[in-house]
Structure 1
Amino acid sequence: MTGKRFFAGLLGPDIPAHLRDEFTLLTADHMRGQARLLFIGFILSLPICIYGASPGAGPVIAYGTPLLVLALSVTALVRIRQPIDEATDVSEARAVIDSVWQICLLTAAVGSIWCIASWASAPVGIRLYYPAIMSLGALITGYCLMAVRSVGMTVLLVTMGPVAMVLLGTGELMDRVLALTILIAAGFQLVMMVRHQGLLLSLVEARHRSGELARRDPLTGLANRRALLECFERFAARGTAVRLMVVDIDRFKTINDRFGHDVGDAVLQAIAHLLRTHARGEICAARLGGEEFALLAGTETLDPAIALQLLGEIAAADMPHGEAITASIGVAEARVTAGEDWTALYGQADRALYRAKNEGRNRVRDSRDPTVPRHASHAAAACVGTG
């Protein structure tokens, strides 16, 4: 089973669908950083290649192939000059990966031509230097590109494969020893590639889990304020008309004082459960802090009647301390656009909430209609009407 998993893993890790975009971004970022060093290294090594080419290989090999590598390296550095971060589009990240592997493949092919031509025309006493140099360069290239194992494998195949085959075919003992050494090194590099991508996937999974935790309220499991703001920003980016309901438990401090904070926490969890039943589709349910909660969605999705229904559900719910509780709700709506601040919408809902508090609690107030209270009797009817 281990062998099957290894060979299946050579083609790439099994990446869950919800992590693929994040994995692509991380892979592109790693690949870009390593590829920049690789292509700079290619450029710096060109004088050595020109000087070290076999005199019998001719000017095309001695000068033409290094200059072609120079052109490819400069092209690659230009294409990958933009940094990769969370704001980068996934299509741009894929373009970086494609640019790197395509140019690396061409560079590897040019390097193989330089190596084989120099080896074939060199005196017998120095011939082994060329495949050794080529193999070292191939291993370095494969290491720099191991973030995408298929790319690293292709580069190893294009560079070390032809060199090893030529050496094995000469019949010379030392040529065969070097060829076997090259193949062993390539196999070791493959193992490193498999493990490297496994580590990348583990890193993506850990980052995803930490991101989820950073957006969740640990007590209730609802979204927290940060996640609610991100939800607001998504609506704003689409220019959507949104509705916000801010829910505050009435006299919650009294519950904590009389029954203790453990019971108070259980009450918060019970309220969160009621809000979660309304968090369908794009409706975001969140705990803003303390005893304050919120529902946010587009006006077509979040029906204003939900506020009255929620009041009735809270009043009728069995609470951990055995006593009924009530809540007050402030409602606001506005059409928001990209870059718009959340505080204006929240301020309207918050002011409506405190009007509800000042007028006796256990009621809904709408920022657009501050003179007409909607309170407990309506809420109870709404609750009965919904069963």
Structure 2
Amino acid sequence: MTKVSDFLRDIAIPDLAHDVRVDYMVAAASQVQKQARWLFVALLMTTPVAVLVTPESAGWFVRWALPAAMALYCLSGIFSLRKDNQFETKPWRAERFIVQSSISSLIGALISTTWAISSWLGAEGTERLHFPVILVMGALATAYCVASIRAAAAMHLLIDIVPIAALLFFTGSTLDMAAAVSLTLAGIFQWRMINVHHQHVVELLLLKRKSQTLALTDPLTGLLNRRALLDFAEALGSDGGKSRLLLIDIDRFKAVNDSHGHDVGDSVLQEVARIIDVHAGNNVSSARLGGEEFALLGTPEALPADKAAQLLSEIRNTAMPHGGQVTVSIGVAEGTLEDDRAWRTLYKQADDALYEAKRLGRDRQYHSDDLEIAAHPQRRADDPPAAPIPRQNVA
């Protein structure tokens, strides 16, 4: 989006927490799109009625030009809202829709106010009071429909209510002055309700985001949990390419807990998680799978082959909370992730490689391809897959 669009978007919905900005944009756009359809239909239906009751003495501009402008405005809005914008999957469309809705709201408010004031000026006696009342009823209904876009709601309340209330207040008529005060109070109350609605929606979205975060992250380390890693694997698999999985297990972690206590052990887990998470980023996710086992999953381009050796060195040479050295063993495997079965296959290959790294002495990496070659050095590429290597308990 352009800088102008960004500026208009921030004006339309200010004071949004960064974590929920996209969620709010999508929710606001979806709500306005649903409600605005009926608003445009209602305005379009009242337009011919207004033409019929407007006297000829009002002039062609008030009787024909302004109703025609309103009808074209409503038809344009109805036509534009027929499109399925798919805000959930394309949130950038929600931002664009909000900016467009704010501009459209301004145009509608100007047409309505011009029509009401022109009709009011051309009317006589008690008939004059009908026009501001009708205008304010429409303004309050419109502000409610676009309440999720506070700037659009504010424009309607200000442009529709303030000018007509000022005209009524300065006519000198006690009835007009009372009507002006009532219209102003109605606008203020509506604005108050719009702000309360905005705050409630933001609070609900923040609570929803917090719940989602708690459901998908490990509470001790802040890394993704196993469920979230599976979701990431599914997203990677949708691209159709290969993925690389590193299973990382802390060597002899039980000894740390036994010697220094679980609080210190938790601190060691957090420090190892911090080092692993440094290597997460675009197309790479880090996770704690449980206990002292971690994972890095990503595309081969984003998670290069030398990443395992780099991690071994970083963890081995980092000062740990218990004052001693910590090493890890790493199993590496590559494969596709087109479905759940493919994920299980990739995970088993990396897990078998991790076990072999433990068996060979720990503090090292082992690749699943090397495991296959070691088990069957004479295997041809078209041979059926080998049976899994029996596993012993290796910490």
When normalised by structure 1's length, the TM-score is 0.74
Q: Deviations over 1:9-44 (max 9, x none)?
A: 998642233433333223222322332232232233
Aligned to 2:90: 88
The answer to whether the 8 A contact 1:353-1:365 is kept is no
The verdict on how the C-alpha distance between 1:44 and 1:251 changes in structure 2, with shifts beyond 3 A counting, is farther
SS at match of 2:369: coil
- In the alignment, the residues of structure 2 paired with residue 277 and residue 163 of structure 1 have an alpha-carbon distance, to the nearest angstrom, of 65
Aligned-pair CA distance for 1:248: 5.7
- In the alignment, the residues of structure 2 paired with residue 251 and residue 354 of structure 1 have an alpha-carbon distance, to the nearest angstrom, of 18
Identity level (%): 31
- In the alignment, the residues of structure 1 paired with residue 348 and residue 267 of structure 2 have an alpha-carbon distance, to the nearest angstrom, of 22
SS at match of 2:276: coil
The verdict on how the C-alpha distance between 1:280 and 1:317 changes in structure 2, with shifts beyond 3 A counting, is closer
- In the alignment, the residues of structure 2 paired with residue 360 and residue 215 of structure 1 have an alpha-carbon distance, to the nearest angstrom, of 29
The answer to whether the 8 A contact 1:348-1:367 is kept is no
Q: Give 2:275's match in structure 1, choosing from 253, 274, 277.
A: 277
- In the alignment, the residues of structure 2 paired with residue 80 and residue 319 of structure 1 have an alpha-carbon distance, to the nearest angstrom, of 59
> In structure 2, what residue type is equivalent to 1:65?
L
The verdict on how the C-alpha distance between 1:345 and 1:178 changes in structure 2, with shifts beyond 3 A counting, is same
Q: Deviations over 1:195-250 (max 9, x none)?
A: 22222322332222122122212455320234324544665677876421124679
> In structure 2, what residue type is equivalent to 1:97?
I
The verdict on how the C-alpha distance between 1:14 and 1:349 changes in structure 2, with shifts beyond 3 A counting, is same
Aligned to 1:297: 298
The answer to whether the 8 A contact 1:330-1:349 is kept is no
- Kindly indicate whether residue 122 of structure 2 is the aligned counterpart of residue 113 of structure 1: no
- In the alignment, the residues of structure 2 paired with residue 270 and residue 343 of structure 1 have an alpha-carbon distance, to the nearest angstrom, of 33
The verdict on how the C-alpha distance between 1:311 and 1:102 changes in structure 2, with shifts beyond 3 A counting, is closer
> In structure 2, what residue type is equivalent to 1:120?
L
The verdict on how the C-alpha distance between 1:286 and 1:73 changes in structure 2, with shifts beyond 3 A counting, is same
The answer to whether the 8 A contact 1:244-1:295 is kept is yes
- In the alignment, the residues of structure 2 paired with residue 192 and residue 57 of structure 1 have an alpha-carbon distance, to the nearest angstrom, of 37
SS at match of 2:370: coil
- In the alignment, the residues of structure 2 paired with residue 274 and residue 96 of structure 1 have an alpha-carbon distance, to the nearest angstrom, of 45
SS at match of 2:287: strand
Question: What are the ranges of 5 or more consecutive residues in structure 2 without an aligned counterpart?
Answer: 1-9, 376-395
Aligned-pair CA distance for 1:319: 11
- In the alignment, the residues of structure 1 paired with residue 15 and residue 104 of structure 2 have an alpha-carbon distance, to the nearest angstrom, of 26
Aligned to 1:348: 346
- In the alignment, the residues of structure 2 paired with residue 356 and residue 123 of structure 1 have an alpha-carbon distance, to the nearest angstrom, of 90
- Kindly indicate whether residue 106 of structure 2 is the aligned counterpart of residue 100 of structure 1: no
- In the alignment, the residues of structure 1 paired with residue 119 and residue 293 of structure 2 have an alpha-carbon distance, to the nearest angstrom, of 76
Q: Deviations over 1:131-163 (max 9, x none)?
A: 111111111111222212221111122212221
- Kindly indicate whether residue 132 of structure 2 is the aligned counterpart of residue 134 of structure 1: no
- Kindly indicate whether residue 195 of structure 2 is the aligned counterpart of residue 197 of structure 1: no
- Kindly indicate whether residue 22 of structure 2 is the aligned counterpart of residue 21 of structure 1: yes
- In the alignment, the residues of structure 1 paired with residue 160 and residue 35 of structure 2 have an alpha-carbon distance, to the nearest angstrom, of 19
The answer to whether the 8 A contact 2:240-2:338 is kept is no
Question: What are the ranges of 5 or more consecutive residues in structure 1 without an aligned counterpart?
Answer: 1-8, 374-387
Within-5 A mapping of 1:28-177: 28-58=29-59, 60-81=61-82, 82-83=84-85, 85-90=87-92, 92-177=93-178
Aligned-pair CA distance for 1:67: 3.8
Aligned length: 354
- In the alignment, the residues of structure 1 paired with residue 285 and residue 374 of structure 2 have an alpha-carbon distance, to the nearest angstrom, of 27
- In the alignment, the residues of structure 2 paired with residue 213 and residue 157 of structure 1 have an alpha-carbon distance, to the nearest angstrom, of 42
